[in-house]
Structure 1
Amino acid sequence: MTREPLRLMAVHAHPDDESSKGAATTARYAAEGVEVLVVTCTDGARGDVLNERYGHLEPGIEAMRAVRRVEMDAAAAALGVRQHWLGFVDSGLPEGDPLPPLPEGCFGLVPLEEAAAPLVEVVREFRPHVMTTYDPSGGYPHPDHVMCHRVSVEAFEAAADPTRYPDRGEAWAPLKLYYNHGFSLVRMRAVHEAILEVGGESPFGDWIESRQAREIPEREVTTRIECSEFFDRRDAALRAHATQIDPEGFFFAVPRAVEVERWPTEEYELAQSRVPTDLPEDDLFAGIRETVR
């Protein structure tokens, strides 16, 4: 009897999010033979060059869009995953008081059903058993991250219903939906303390104080994936996004030996499940492996 391959879909807002949130998990599953598809909702074209060492980039949305496509290709290759562009325009991160309006036509302003329709189509075509995305806050209040959550939940629920989006393919019911929890306060505090114990300088001090001051509630972690063997692939994917990630900056400020010893996992919250499973879990496919043939 031939076993059907397991399939994982990770839905993200921008190119580079797939490399900073759950990247080692996707690399691990891809290496184990799981079919992994990263879906990127927007083109990232309104992002700034955040890496001061990057050098010159022609100004304008078109130049940024082009370079971020090249970076995304390199990151997907580093992780060993496939990648699909959903095709929406980056909303940018509004700043100021009061906040300026979002630009016309951007992802954050698209009506939900219009924004979710192409994702429903990709879900029905790829037929993932598991989907991952962001919690309702988006992880942080970027309009594209919040919209990414909304379209992911809509697609998870609607793709299974043949009466919804009937022109977007044959119905398919993903079995589990998870929220990424890569920047939990518990994780940051543990790594912060570990760095201080070995006499290092932690990048998390101000961040921890800020989160505590704002009293951001911690969401439940139900699932921890051991993936330290794949931190090097995650790091290679991060470096591929050279406009966004400084190789001597924040994401590389944690000594890898400290990280592997103190926090060798990536964390998730099981948001919806169509199969029975026991919590806590150490596998996104817990409760699924036994049923997929």
Structure 2
Amino acid sequence: MSERRLLLVHAHPDDETLTTGGTIARYAAEGARVSVLTCTLGEEGEVIGERWAGLVADRADQLGGYRILELTAALERLGADGPRFLGGAGRWRDSGMAGTPSAANPRAFVNADPEEAVAALVAAIRELRPHVVVCYDPEGGYGHPDHVQAHHFTMTAFDAAGTDRYPDAGPPWAPAKLYWTVTEANSLRQAIECITETPSAWRLPEPGELPCVLDETVTASVDVRAVLDAKRAALTAHATQVTVSASGSEYALSNNVAQPILAEEHYVLVRGARGEVDADGRERDLFSGIAF
């Protein structure tokens, strides 16, 4: 086991695999300690198929507990530590999309008390002592309120963890770097153009439908080709939320929009010093430049 430690903060079970699963699997395979902190149980998610459809929020409302099982299996397949939940499992509830009744629930993550949530995040950072932290960009990737909330809380906690704030949350620890997980527009476009066949119920995304960022904003690209089998296995573990195509090159959520499984995962460095870069001016290793 190396000295390297990575912490990724995600809103719901499956988010960790969708955008960062390859990164998790790569660094875990290289011997780093990789931890995922999930902010809700994903109780408001839709379910693919009929087998577990009765678990959804407006029926049995048991989906969150089932998704703990899916997350546990996905993390095992990626090689990461077992699941951790911000404030403990079930402390905050999936808010659903903006403007929906679920967002008005007092337990919804969007209504979380910032001091309590940030203190819990600081405690996790100080306990796990990561060198690198990953969270969402200010838009939360695609605008989900829980993703945006996770972004704000993680940014605040990252800056506070190495200070004397929150004295009850453990000894201070200052991570070296903070990245936002993003998807590069050109890589996404090229991968979509390579999709030749999908299940009959799926459709290709409309131009601009899938979230992405301008290529020039990306500062780090992580090659995950060697661990794509692990990422596919983890996506398959989230069976209530994700379907992987027979080719293993694409997946779809409950909306049946085909999305490519990319060979690189993309990041923007927003805290810390940039390490070694390639000819394109990008880091290829999130731990680059950190002294161990």
**TM-score, normalization by structure 1:** 0.83
Give the distance between the partners of 2:27 and 2:116, measured in 1 at CA: 31
**Counterpart in 1 of 2:256?**
none
**TM-score, normalization by structure 2:** 0.83
1:31 alignment partner, one of 29, 32, 49? 29
Judge conservation of contact 2:182–2:213 (CA < 8 Å) in 1.
no
Judge conservation of contact 2:23–2:265 (CA < 8 Å) in 1.
yes
Q: CA deviation at 1:207?
A: 3.6
Superposed, 1:85-164 pairs within 5 Å as 85-86=85-86, 87=88, 88-94=92-98, 102-162=104-164, 164=165
Judge conservation of contact 1:185–1:218 (CA < 8 Å) in 2.
yes
Q: 1:100 to 1:23 in 2, by over 3 A?
A: closer
1:236 equivalenced with 2:229 (yes/no): no
Q: 1:34 to 1:105 in 2, by over 3 A?
A: same
**Counterpart in 1 of 2:266?**
267
Q: CA deviation at 1:274?
A: 5.1
Question: Unaligned stretches of 5+ in structure 2?
Answer: 252-259
Judge conservation of contact 1:91–1:103 (CA < 8 Å) in 2.
yes
Deviates more, 1:273-282 or 1:224-233: 273-282
Judge conservation of contact 1:94–1:102 (CA < 8 Å) in 2.
no
Q: CA deviation at 1:149?
A: 0.4
Q: CA deviation at 1:106?
A: 1.1
Q: 1:217 to 1:229 in 2, by over 3 A?
A: closer
Partner deviation per Cα, 1:53-79 (whole Å, 9 max, x = no partner): 644434546511211111111011110
Question: Unaligned stretches of 5+ in structure 1?
Answer: none
Q: CA deviation at 1:194?
A: 2.8
1:246 alignment partner, one of 233, 243, 256? 243
Deviates more, 1:226-235 or 1:126-135: 226-235
1:43 alignment partner, one of 36, 41, 44? 41
Alignment RMSD (CA, Å): 2.8
Letter in 2 for 1:132: V
Q: CA deviation at 1:156?
A: 0.8
**Counterpart in 2 of 1:75?**
74
**Counterpart in 1 of 2:205?**
206
**Counterpart in 1 of 2:193?**
193
Q: 1:70 to 1:217 in 2, by over 3 A?
A: closer
Judge conservation of contact 2:43–2:56 (CA < 8 Å) in 1.
no
Partner deviation per Cα, 1:247-291 (whole Å, 9 max, x = no partner): 34998537xxxx79xx52111111111576554210000101xx1
Partner deviation per Cα, 1:210-248 (whole Å, 9 max, x = no partner): 469xxx863710001111111111111111111111234
Q: CA deviation at 1:134?
A: 0.4
Letter in 1 for 2:64: R
Letter in 1 for 2:11: A
Q: 1:170 to 1:266 in 2, by over 3 A?
A: same
- Quick one: percent identity of the two aligned structures? 37
